[in-house]
Chain A
Amino acid sequence: MSEVIVVTSGKGGVGKTTTTANVGTGLAAMGKKVILIDTDIGLRNLDVVMGLENRIVYNLVDVVEGSCRIKQAIIRDKRYPTLFLLPSAQTRDKSAVNPAQMVKMINHLKDQFDYIILDCPAGIEQGFQNAIAGADRALVVTTPEVSAIRDADRIIGLLEANEIHKMDLVINRIRYDMIRRGDMMSSEDVVDILSLPLIGLVPDDENVVVATNQGEPLVGSNTLAGRAYQNICHRVLGEDVPFLDLEKGISFWAKVSGIFHRS
């Protein structure tokens, strides 16, 4: 039984593509057969984050328009044999594809993969509608910032309106030093505001930038973000993984000392 997951956020730059790449890679490392689909037509990036930009021949729009067979457009990952990428088109725009075409294509892929993960573009226009059209569940990515949370809330409302009720929250780029000072909302604050089940807490980690530079997802590596993404993968599979010590937030004493530091 395959599951179609859309990774979405509303606001741009909060880590949708990084999350897609890492969760997809992590699931493939656990032996699942996974395809990542970049639905950001005109601004494709999943290929560079995965380090597969030199292998692209055909893309999503070619498949939908029938210019090639779907097998010709799908790229196999260089590290994991069960991980695949369907890249987006760089020279077209969002109107090149419609939701009905996306559903048809996803249904075709369903019997070949355990997980189909869609990287959604920012915004709530056609690109978003295309990305969510065939999805069973959503990972809503946000950061502990007012703008990202507001957009996430809007996205959650739109997902509900589109009958996608299985939604989980990924809070990205958490700075525990700032939370301790009282200058950043904690994961509890964000969950309280958005009222969505939490599936992942990813600390703000320089290694994410390094990994993107190298085109190698860092899931599973011995870095804070790598471990956090690994845990998200286990939770996507339905396993009950406790949140890392760092993920848990801060202890009472840290909060108290944080107050005195401020004064």
Chain B
Amino acid sequence: MNVFKHILKRKSSREIAKDRLKILLISDRVNCSPEMMEMIKNDIAKVISKYMKIDTKSMEIQITKTGSKGRSLKNPTLYANIPILDLNHDIP
């Protein structure tokens, strides 16, 4: 099934809805506003930028559930995807 969908390279609106909800509900449940997520993202970018050159525009952060079943957010994890542009950035 997934292979077919991959070939078609088109997400059904059902999948889009499900993906959007999953992310939305996690931030709803932990009571973390999009503004706060944005502030966390900016602060992380600032710290990492001290040591290496990163692509702040395409970096993403989100809170995800790992290993927990059901509704409880027992093991929430902050997941950050930060593309590095230059590892040998001069350390000031």
Residue interface mask B13-41, A partner, CB < 8 A = 1: 11101101110110011000000000000
B70 / chain A contacts, CB cutoff of 8 Å? 195
Measured CA separation A114–B4 after assembly (Å):
52
A186 / chain B contacts, CB cutoff of 8 Å? 14
Q: Is B87 part of the binding interface, using a Cβ–Cβ cutoff of 8 Å?
A: no
Q: Is B1 part of the binding interface, using a Cβ–Cβ cutoff of 8 Å?
A: yes
Q: Is A262 part of the binding interface, using a Cβ–Cβ cutoff of 8 Å?
A: yes
Interface residues on chain A, number (Cβ under 8 Å): 27
Contact of B71 among A154, A156, A182 (CB under 8 A): A156
Q: Is A42 part of the binding interface, using a Cβ–Cβ cutoff of 8 Å?
A: no
Q: Is B5 part of the binding interface, using a Cβ–Cβ cutoff of 8 Å?
A: yes
Find out whether the CB atom of B25 lies under 8 angstroms from the CB atom of A189: no
Find out whether the CB atom of B15 lies under 8 angstroms from the CB atom of A182: yes
Known contacts A156-B71, A195-B71, A256-B1; A182/B25 CB under 8 A: no
Q: Is B58 part of the binding interface, using a Cβ–Cβ cutoff of 8 Å?
A: no
B21 / chain A contacts, CB cutoff of 8 Å? 146, 149-150, 193
Measured CA separation A192–B65 after assembly (Å):
13
Q: A190 to chain B: closest CB distance in Å?
A: 9
B4, B21, B22, B24: residue with the most chain A Cβ atoms closer than 10 Å: B21
Find out whether the CB atom of B4 lies under 8 angstroms from the CB atom of A185: no
Residue interface mask B39-63, A partner, CB < 8 A = 1: 0000000000000000000000000
Find out whether the CB atom of B13 lies under 8 angstroms from the CB atom of A189: no
Find out whether the CB atom of B18 lies under 8 angstroms from the CB atom of A193: yes
Find out whether the CB atom of B8 lies under 8 angstroms from the CB atom of A182: no
A91 / chain B contacts, CB cutoff of 8 Å? none
Q: B42 to chain A: closest CB distance in Å?
A: 26
Interface size classification for chain B: 20 to 34
What is the chain A residue whose CB lies nearest that of B24?
A150
Measured CA separation A114–B37 after assembly (Å):
48
Residue interface mask B55-86, A partner, CB < 8 A = 1: 00000000000000111000000000000000
Contact of B25 among A153, A255, A262 (CB under 8 A): A153
What is the chain B residue whose CB lies nearest that of A260?
B4
Find out whether the CB atom of A262 lies under 8 angstroms from the CB atom of B12: yes
Find out whether the CB atom of B29 lies under 8 angstroms from the CB atom of A157: yes
Find out whether the CB atom of B14 lies under 8 angstroms from the CB atom of A183: yes
Q: B13 to chain A: closest CB distance in Å?
A: 5
On B, residues with C-beta under 8 Å from A are 1, 4-5, 8, 10, 12-15, 17-18, 20-22, 24-25, 28-29, 69-71
Q: Which 5 A-B pairs have the closest CB atoms?
A: A182-B12, A195-B71, A195-B70, A183-B13, A182-B14
On A, residues with C-beta under 8 Å from B are 145-146, 149-150, 153-154, 156-157, 160, 179, 181-186, 189, 192-196, 255-256, 259, 262-263
Besides A156-B71, A182-B13, 13 other A-B contacts (C-beta < 8 A): A146-B20, A146-B24, A150-B24, A150-B25, A150-B28, A181-B12, A182-B15, A183-B14, A184-B13, A184-B14, A194-B71, A195-B70, A262-B8
